Structure 1
């Protein structure tokens, strides 16, 4: 199922830019590996630091767009039904129909059949990760679909999360069986993933980045950290490869 870049209501308002000032080092991290998919139009290699405080407004823009616009459009609702994941406004006992935090019938409509304890509970913050993961696992994480779900700021707002979850999907497939991967991507008995597809639009650069990170994970399993790290001890990091028949 293909989305184009002109979904109804897909023009999101421009998110406010973070003020340019020096940030504490704690809020900075090494830049994410280059986004290897051909869908990338923003080369992170030119950005030596990934600044979380600069990223966050873009992420908030994606979050607002998903809640206020995307989930109320026909294409997003159709795809969500096909890949069997409930949109926020469909969740009970507290449907989330908009990004506003104000409580009341306009924003949060409690289930009339819920018990008093449920009624008194405050709705939990809604995460975008389950939707990103479900799109990846079912092969629907193309740029057009991500734009349709998360708006014009999707690349800067959820692009890094998308990259990480693509790598996690590769790691899951490498480390366990198909059934266990499927169970890991099921959300609930009502929101099981209907099918799994191999990761799409993969470039050699993305595979190499995943191999490198996988080697780091294997090194940690062997406690090869700090002074015992392979690069410190002059060893070549090992990459687990499937045996050739």
Structure 2
């Protein structure tokens, strides 16, 4: 019975991937977002303007190794041969949009294309939760430092999480409680849920 309840709980947990989640299908959509950002978005006037406003360099602006497209080549410091398929992380851009309150669906589509929900939507969701955790765990100054990138790409301002929903807050609260439990080593057989079930079993009369 306990294992059945646990599996049911896991399936209903909004923090976990859906049962029909396919990582290969997700990666196809993520790659589409990655290519869109490199090949199209970073070269458009609206994205360049917003990137300048929130003080984050686009890949084509990165020196000494700018990346202007998904087919750009770059050289490894210890290897003169060109390295195809440059690895540009999308996470710093998602984090900066969240911290400055610019992570609306329209802006995310502008950065990552029509596949953004399937491709980077889950990353966006987790990073919004991480922003809540950062705000709860430390001071404004330390949060800002965590969202700065370099002396030249510091976060110009922080705003409260844009458009937070009750469900999003409740999910963050549940995850935060689990984190606090882990700090106290309340894991596995000592986890609050397991101990609660054990206590209930002791109180219930045996048939």
Q: TM-score, normalised by structure 2?
A: 0.82
**Match of residue 195, structure 2, among 219, 233, 238:** 233
Q: Distance in 2 between matches of 1:88 and 1:128?
A: 10
Q: Distance in 2 between matches of 1:185 and 1:31?
A: 32
Name the counterpart of 1:138: 100
**Match of residue 34, structure 2, among 51, 63, 70:** 63
Name the counterpart of 2:65: 94
- Where does structure 2 lack aligned partners over 5 or more consecutive residues? 1-9, 198-207
CA, structure 1 residues 117+155, in 2 after alignment: closer, same or farther (shift >3 Å)? closer
CA, structure 1 residues 31+188, in 2 after alignment: closer, same or farther (shift >3 Å)? farther
Q: Distance in 1 between matches of 2:63 and 2:109?
A: 26
Q: Distance in 1 between matches of 2:176 and 2:77?
A: 44
User: Contact conserved, 1:71 with 1:89, CA < 8 A, in 2?
Assistant: yes
User: Contact conserved, 1:31 with 1:50, CA < 8 A, in 2?
Assistant: no
User: Contact conserved, 1:31 with 1:48, CA < 8 A, in 2?
Assistant: no
Q: Distance in 1 between matches of 2:151 and 2:11?
A: 38
**Match of residue 129, structure 1, among 88, 91, 97:** 91
Residue aligned with 2:21, SS:
strand
Q: Distance in 1 between matches of 2:184 and 2:14?
A: 24
Deviation larger for 117-126 or 157-166: 117-126
Name the counterpart of 1:73: 44
**Match of residue 14, structure 2, among 33, 37, 40:** 33
Q: Distance in 2 between matches of 1:86 and 1:32?
A: 36
User: Contact conserved, 1:93 with 1:118, CA < 8 A, in 2?
Assistant: no
Q: Distance in 2 between matches of 1:157 and 1:143?
A: 13
Q: CA deviation at 1:119?
A: 8.6
CA deviation map 1:90-149 (0-9, x unaligned): 000110000015x3xxxx5x8xxxxx9589496762100000000000000000000000
Q: Distance in 2 between matches of 1:34 and 1:155?
A: 16
User: Contact conserved, 1:227 with 1:233, CA < 8 A, in 2?
Assistant: yes
* Structure 1 moving runs of 4+ over 3 Å: 29-32, 116-124
Q: CA RMSD in A?
A: 2.5
User: Contact conserved, 1:59 with 1:158, CA < 8 A, in 2?
Assistant: yes
* Higher-RCO chain (CA-CA 8 Å, sequence separation at least 6): 1
Aligned residues: 186
Residue aligned with 2:152, SS:
coil
Q: CA deviation at 1:173?
A: 0.1
Residue aligned with 1:50, SS:
coil
Name the counterpart of 1:161: 123
Q: TM-score, normalised by structure 1?
A: 0.70
